[in-house]
């Protein structure tokens, strides 16, 4: 096992880090990649435990046990439980910002950008990241961590509202209060990990697409354009395809 | 202070209890009413603490301190912290079922019934009950409490889905997957206590009405019928009225 730990207090970066030399023609992960993989495994295991038992009801032993490693092995990669919780929140934020930025820079109407950003985020939240990523334990963060999180969240909400306003200007979104619209959309999305379970009848990709189409219909200026996507017939058909 | 405590493990009933004899021409609350008031105060204080610090981060001392009473006084009305948490969940469920039942028995299309049930629930959740009612600490419930809660929640979801299906039959709701629609609506609603604060620029009644109109537009067969309700102009006008 690698002894090199990431700097404590810093969430694993998703990109932009100088690559280390590749061995075996890139067939094996680099040291850095292996460290990131391990750290991400820790965050997934921790998120699972936090969501099941809450922050205070979860010990570092629980997280180590879920990963099948010793507690000392765990401490090579993370400093303490608060750092783990904060990192979980930051991973979610990183994912959200990544999809938002892609949507902002991409083509399409304001509504299409909102849809792309939300669907990308939701798909990754319940898919790659593992469904039960923690989102409701802010109260357990330390004050400076909470301030940092709120600052990021405020920026996220502000930029999402700007996309709704863009949609109102380009005619894709009905005249509405962007603040209320974003609260409603975020609520529907952020509640998904409360009921979605791995192996659900809806795949992450299927759910991300259909669910976001459904909830953004609330602000769409042409809500009928996609109505065929919601019909029970389409739903059953898609299910058979994804199951088969 | 009255020595009579409610039976432990039983949430305060909202109605249907045989009235005790009125004194002073009903100007004063009865003993039963005073007990219910005290118990509800405990649940509100507890919900506030749980939401801020989590179940494990909250002590009975914290709850007593918030109420300005002693811990022994608290124990006259509740048995332990688990009972308090369970009672908080049950109060939310009671409110939800009460509004659902009224909507089921009332007039109107399937969509109108969904709207009435959700708006009544949301208005009470953030208004009378106090905004920060706990909804995310199921993990802290004891197994038999969690089973009882899930049973009630399943019934609630089933009956809400039936209203969506009614709406599909009467033409007020687009063809959609009722399960997905209810998850989306519940998510948006249940997330409100995460961002709504007492003294918010939107009053509970204003928010409950506008918010539910907005989120149910996602499944409305005639989404344009109420679009004037969402416009920024209407919003500003309403704000001035409710502020003035």
The answer on pLDDT for A120 being more than 50 is yes
The confidence score (pLDDT) of residue B13 equals: 47
Report how far residue B16's alpha carbon sits from residue B32's, in angstroms, rounded to the nearest whole number.
Answer: 12
pLDDT band at A238 (very low <50, low <70, confident <90, very high): very low
Residue % of chain B over a pLDDT of 90: 44
Question: Which of B54, B134, B142, B231 would you mutate first to test chain A, the one with the most A CBs within 10 A?
Answer: B54
Report how far residue B151's alpha carbon sits from residue A219's, in angstroms, rounded to the nearest whole number.
Answer: 34
Judged by a CB distance cut-off of 8 A, whether residue A59 touches chain B is: no
Residue identified by tokens 């009405």 is B209
**In whole angstroms, what separates CA B227 from the centre of its chain?**
27
What is the pTM assigned to this prediction? 0.79
The answer on pLDDT for A5 being more than 80 is no
Given its phi and psi angles, is residue A179 left (phi above 0), alpha (psi -120 to 50 degrees) or beta? alpha
Partner residues linked to B173 by β-bridges:
B220
Question: Which of B149, B188, B202 would you mutate first to test chain A, the one with the most A CBs within 10 A?
Answer: B188
Judged by a CB distance cut-off of 8 A, whether residue A171 touches chain B is: no
- Stretch B36-56: mean pLDDT: 82
Q: What are the tens digits of pLDDT across the range A154-180?
A: 999 999 999 999 999 999 999 999 999
Q: Residue B217: closest CA among chain A residues belongs to which residue? A: A218
Question: Do the chains contact at B57 and A195, CB–CB below 8 Å?
Answer: no
Q: What are the tens digits of pLDDT across the range A186-210?
A: 999 988 988 887 778 898 899 999 9
Contacts of B166 (CB under 8 A, 6+ apart): B109, B110, B113
Longest dimension (CA), chain A: 57
Question: Do the chains contact at A186 and B191, CB–CB below 8 Å?
Answer: yes
Q: What are the tens digits of pLDDT across the range B90-143?
A: 888 999 999 999 999 999 999 999 999 999 999 988 887 664 555 667 777 889
Question: Do the chains contact at A235 and B186, CB–CB below 8 Å?
Answer: no
Contacts of B92 (CB under 8 A, 6+ apart): B125, B129, B133, B135
Question: Do the chains contact at A54 and B140, CB–CB below 8 Å?
Answer: yes
Judged by a CB distance cut-off of 8 A, whether residue B229 touches chain A is: no
Report how far residue B97's alpha carbon sits from residue A114's, in angstroms, rounded to the nearest whole number.
Answer: 34
Residue % of chain B over a pLDDT of 70: 78
Q: Residue A209: closest CA among chain B residues belongs to which residue? A: B180
- Stretch B65-87: mean pLDDT: 90
User: What would the two tokens of residue A125 be?
Assistant: 């939240």
User: What would the two tokens of residue A49 be?
Assistant: 């435990």
User: What's the CATH code, domain A84-243?
Assistant: 1.10.357.10
Domain range summary for chain A, segments of one domain joined by +: 84-243
| Between B68 and A23, residue with greater pLDDT | B68
| Between B85 and B101, residue with greater pLDDT | B101
Report how far residue B72's alpha carbon sits from residue B64's, in angstroms, rounded to the nearest whole number.
Answer: 9
User: What's the CATH code, domain B82-243?
Assistant: 1.10.357.10
Judged by a CB distance cut-off of 8 A, whether residue A101 touches chain B is: no
* Residue among A96, A151, A134, A91 nearest A118 (CA): A96
Give B203: exposed, middle or buried? Use CB within 10 Å, 0-12, 13-18, 19+. middle
User: What would the two tokens of residue A171 be?
Assistant: 């005619």
DSSP reduced 3-state for A220? strand
Q: What's the full length of chain B, in residues?
A: 244
Judged by a CB distance cut-off of 8 A, whether residue A218 touches chain B is: yes
């Amino acid at each position: 096992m690698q002894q090199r730990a990431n700097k404590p207090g810093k969430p694993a970066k998703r990109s932009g880090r100088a690559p280390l030399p590749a061995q075996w023609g890139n067939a094996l992960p680099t040291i850095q990649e292996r460290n990131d993989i391990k750290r991400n495994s820790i965050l997934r295991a921790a998120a699972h435990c936090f969501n099941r038992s809450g922050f205070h009801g979860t010990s570092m032993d629980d997280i180590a046990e879920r990963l099948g490693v010793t507690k000392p092995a765990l401490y090579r990669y993370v400093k303490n439980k608060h750092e783990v919780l904060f990192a979980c929140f930051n991973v979610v934020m990183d994912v959200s910002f990544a999809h938002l930025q892609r949507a902002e820079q991409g083509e399409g109407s304001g509504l299409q950008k909102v849809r792309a950003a939300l669907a990308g985020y939701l798909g990754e939240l319940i898919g790659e990241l593992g469904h039960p990523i923690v989102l409701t334990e802010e109260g357990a963060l330390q004050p400076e961590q909470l301030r940092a999180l709120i600052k990021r969240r405020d920026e996220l909400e502000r930029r999402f509202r700007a996309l709704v306003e863009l949609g109102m200007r380009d005619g894709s979104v009905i005249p509405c209060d962007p603040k209320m619209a974003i609260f409603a959309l975020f609520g529907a999305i952020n509640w998904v990990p409360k009921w979605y379970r791995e192996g659900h009848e809806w795949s992450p990709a299927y759910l991300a697409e259909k669910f976001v189409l459904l909830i953004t219909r609330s602000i769409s200026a042409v809500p009928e354009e996609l109505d065929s996507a919601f019909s029970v017939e389409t739903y059953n058909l898609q299910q058979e395809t994804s199951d088969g």
